Structure 1
Amino acid sequence: MFKKNITVSQTSLLGGKDNKSLKAAAKKSCSSLSEDQLSDLFSSKALITLSKLNNRSLVYGSEGGDPLFFDPTGHGDRLFPTVYTLARFPDMLEKLYTYSPVSDKVLGGADLFLQGLILPTDQPIPAFLAGSVRALCVPGNPIPFAVGTMAVSRTEAQQAGMKGRGLTILHSFGDLLWQLGSGAAPNAGFTPSRIHPLPDQAGPEDEASPRAKSSVDSPSDDAEPDSPDQTEEAVPSIESLSVAEESSAPPPNGAVSLDEMLEQAVLGGLQTLKAIELPIQFSDFYSKHMLAHRPPGVTFDLKQSKYKKLSKLLDKFSKDKVITQKVVRKQDTISAVDRNHPQLAGFTPAAAPATAPSSASAPAQAPAGPSTSAGLVITPCYRAPATLRPLFGPEAAADKDRLYDAAEVAAALSSYAQQQRLRGAGGTIALDALLRSALFGKKEEVSVGSAIPERALVAKLTDKLQLHHRLTRQTPQGPVSTVRKGVLPPITIAAGKKRGHPITTISHMESFGFVPDDLAKDFQKAFSSSCSVGELPGKQEHDMEITMQGDLGAKVAVWFTAHHGIPAKYIDVKGSKKA
């Protein structure tokens, strides 16, 4: 909060009574401070100043010296020590640890994400509550370099898979609050761009130490571990991706290098990336699109590649103008993709099936296919708007709500090109007036007659269609199929309270073919809990909601997976405290 321009609007000396009140408030906020330490900070002879800043915060400091405490809201209800004070008494707050390479992001103004934490590997994660105060350190350097409040509790963090915002940074070394003081670095490890461990204090928890297995999933550019171990379903660190998705074995020997495999995974991921998903964060692009194009049995370790970081890898494609980057809320994102770029349009995945059509007249493969898991089949499908129905023939005009899977979309474009004699050399299709107006924007530099690779046109066409999902779930009575428009919502299980008693609500079960009334009866038998069914609040909601007595969220999630094969990634549990 002290990264933007701040000015001191008023400064005054505190009287003896105010000095005693400040001392009591400091003791209340930092209960570990001893009486000797408090007396050292607020001696009877010390002159304490109160400075009011234009961002409404209050800063308390010694006259002509360094700021000691600050009140971020100006309400006088909570005091936080400055890094100057933490340098004098490093243990006055409970500490969190992060990697040295992450510290430059925090010093730059970013909050710390949970995946940037160094967690204990041989003991439980220390307890914390949302809003609790923590100091942030780098292992091997005993002095904290930032102070902030926890954005979530330990329970919420574990339920989120240890991903997402963890520590909201209020003040850090080098910010404008720090510059109100002398500016002297606490020790040699403090530099303007990064906090380093001290050579004589680096130990087993230094920046090379692995993170605990419980700290998985994705980071963001705000806080990246140096080389954390992560699982395949985890989202990697943006700045330092060292991932062992399936095993720690090195990639199999072959002609394709790790650099080439990473580049191919980016191109393959861009082909499956839909326009509706843009802008997309780098880490989400990696987990949702790049991993799907990783060769079987291969480990991606960016630290072993020439790029070293995911951001550097994507910078290459940005410089080549395959993608456009944009910073959204301090996060690096992919904001646009040039589907006509030769690198992307001419790319063929190395792992493509041998039976894939290779002739120029064969239909191009659409980028998305069905996802199958334990009796559940999820297939993306598409509905053609009025402007694109001519591409799909007279059947589309007769049935406006007909849905097409990925293969049918590619086949329809191929058939249209054949009928209109638009095919060119090298697997290209010449644009006619319909294709030009329906698939390309006015500012895109293509015209009628332009030859576009068929694969690129399939991707363009898919982006312009209305996305649906067809779900088929196997039941003892036979398969149950449902179709949902747009992005597939997960089953949402949330803990709450009603009249002071814990309750659990379940919604969006219709996406997976469940009938709410029947499901409520199953829950009554399985959990011996009373259930009721009602409408979800909100004008845009059409699904129902089941309300159960008790905190049963975690058990209900396990029940869905065990009895109906619903993968955990399609179940969103919020706030449940019981496993």
Structure 2
Amino acid sequence: MFSRAFRVRSNTAIKGSDRRKLRADVAAAFPNLSAEQLAEFISNKEELNVIKIYCHKGEAVTVYMNNKNPVLFEIEKALYPTVYTLWVYPDLLPAFWTWPPVLQKLAGGADLMLPGVVVPPSGFPQVERGTLCAVTLLGNRAPVAVGVATMSTAEMLAAGMKGKGFAVLHTYMDHLWEYGDKSNPPTLAPLVTDSAGKENAEDEEMEGKEPVISLSTDPLQQMNVGDLSLQERDSCAILMGKEELEENRAAETAEDASTEGLQEPEDSRTPQEQMDALFNQCFFHALKCKVKKSDLPLLTSTFLRSHMFSCCVKAFAVPEGFSSASAAHDSKSEDREQAYRAPEIIPLYGVSTKMIPLFQESGHKKGSSLSSSEVRNIIINYVKANELVDETNKNLVKVNAILCDCLLDKSEQDEISHLKWDDLLSRCLERLQPLHQVTFFGQEPVVRKGNIEPIDVTIAQRSSNKKVTIIKNLELYGLDPQCVANILQQKVQASATITPIPGTKDRVQVQIQGNQIHHLAKMLLEEYQLPRKYIRGLEKAPKLGRKK
């Protein structure tokens, strides 16, 4: 829920009566808290603030701040603790273990799949479907995520530990955590609850051969740098949803890591030096084997996603017979196709100069961006606050001086005294400045002026009565025109070129021989999951003849 940036709507100090009500709600939601812990948690002496926020998908969330850290968040009158709270009260919720590499997936917005859940020696906590649970990393009792169980404990075991186990709401390293002091989780030793666990711990201590698992406060240090190999490790992807290899692959990964750690001498370099060396190795491998000159300059986010994660190496060396050009072409096309996720596009409205008098009462200035639902609420509140609803007909709104100046044309000002609700709202939206917000996966939302241009597909006639398909505006949706051209060329076995769009700067179009709209539509709609409303020209596809 907080994997992307949210928008703060208001921030106010909590009142005394609201503080008492919150304490009662917390006591009802978390009966495990003792009276002393509750008094400490919701103290009368410490400053407590209430923040209203809107998440990237439009959810309205209330966040309670204590000592500049978010301690609770409320969604539809249900209270949830943050990781800051769970670090102080680690036993507040039933906890489930997972592997350290899974944390990065959870922080990116993924839910916790059952193959990624580690079965402790004492067994799982007994929970029902819908129970609020904490997620901890193997070797540390400090929770790193908060989620809701999608199955009961019995259903998890009956399903063979396959499927989605927990809908994750909040994690360590997400944007809600970043709103606090950004402290790292404490190191809390796991509770040993059965004799087998104690015996294993004693055996490890006596033999001195196997390292005791511990959690570093730095998430980048949770895996040994020496354990990373040139081939892309798929354990995290398996744990997060590719269930066909779940427990066996996870166990093999853990065994391989421990075996390699025993065989290799201890690295005397500091973690900072190790990570710097690893970064340099990944950088040189990307330049040597994957990145073309036309790709430079390269965004840091692209380098991290496409090259850093997939090309971690022990020692940089290009294998004999390795074809740099072909491997760069194939691997780059595959990486971009798999990594692409359709952007989230939200239409917004900006307050124009003419509309300032209507919106200034709600605290908005020129240029403020609002969603359609926010505009609707502001207009409704304005009408009610100024008692403009017609007494005889509730469907009509009386037009006062401000509404007249903002919403009526000069020719209408002497003729119209009332407006219907629908007409009032539609006129308001028409006179606001059109904006749109685009959010690409793993990036901050970007607000742009105007309505987003659709991907434009046209058919042009060339010499000898030959047709070509022209595709424009792919860049606006995070698609690489060169990558799209390469994929189309392979699928339809026709030549494709990239040419500049006349009259534009740094904008290109894809041109491919023949009418290829059928293949293009299948790729954009099915593979890239782009909504049809953002693609213009698909109706120009050739009509398929009937088979005889």
- TM above 0.5, one fold? no
**TM-score w.r.t. structure 2 length?**
0.38
**TM-score w.r.t. structure 1 length?**
0.36
